[in-house]
């Protein structure tokens, strides 16, 4: 069984960290984690970090449950509250995933990245996101430390 962490100590930069394949129940708990972030009713950025190939696999029923969750209002909250979403995948999985389009799927700026450094650099330099001044001064190093600890 895998594990999934929802981390918001760097708010308004939120992290999800997944390792190994998650169960359907863990996925539902993940959606509740997103709901908790949405309840803050504050704009935020999110980095989704997948540690290994198995963490990218989905349990049966996950797609349907996610679509249902999105149709109950999460899609609007995504577009309203999430300023950007970076998805970090294992480097060996990047070639097969790099063509996924975060903006087309979720309607927000973002991308798929082979390393946390690439994702952080994109966020730091992105012209699509005009203002990241709401992030803490040392946010890059703090995020890297969180990922090392997890």
Q: What confidence tens digit (pLDDT) does each residue in 10-22 have? A: 888 899 999 999 9
pLDDT 10s digits, 79-124? 999 999 999 999 999 999 999 999 888 889 999 999 999 998 888 7
Q: State the pLDDT confidence band at 137, using cuts at 50, 70 and 90.
A: low
pLDDT of residue 46: 95
> Which candidate, 18, 89, 77, places its Cα nearest to that of 44?
77
> Which candidate, 52, 67, 64, places its Cα nearest to that of 22?
52
Between 87 and 2, residue with greater pLDDT: 87
In this structure, what CATH number is given to the domain that contains residue 124?
3.30.750
- pTM here is 0.85
- The structural domain count of the chain equals 1
Look up the domain containing 10 and give its range: 3-149
């Amino acid at each position: 069984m895998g594990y999934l962490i929802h981390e918001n100590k760097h708010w308004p930069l939120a992290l999800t960290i997944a390792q190994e394949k998650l169960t359907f129940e863990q996925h539902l708990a993940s959606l509740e984690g997103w709901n908790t972030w949405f309840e803050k009713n504050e704009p935020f950025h999110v980095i989704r970090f997948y540690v290994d190939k198995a963490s990218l696999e989905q349990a049966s029923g996950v797609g349907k449950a996610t679509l249902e969750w999105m149709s109950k209002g999460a899609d609007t909250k995504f577009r309203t509250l999430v300023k950007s979403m970076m998805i970090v995948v294992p480097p060996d999985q990047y070639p097969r995933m790099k063509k996924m389009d975060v903006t087309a799927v979720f309607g927000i700026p973002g991308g798929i990245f082979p390393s946390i450094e690439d994702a952080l650099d994109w966020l730091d330099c992105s012209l699509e996101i005009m203002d990241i001044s709401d992030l803490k001064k040392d946010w890059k190093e703090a995020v890297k430390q969180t990922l090392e600890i997890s």
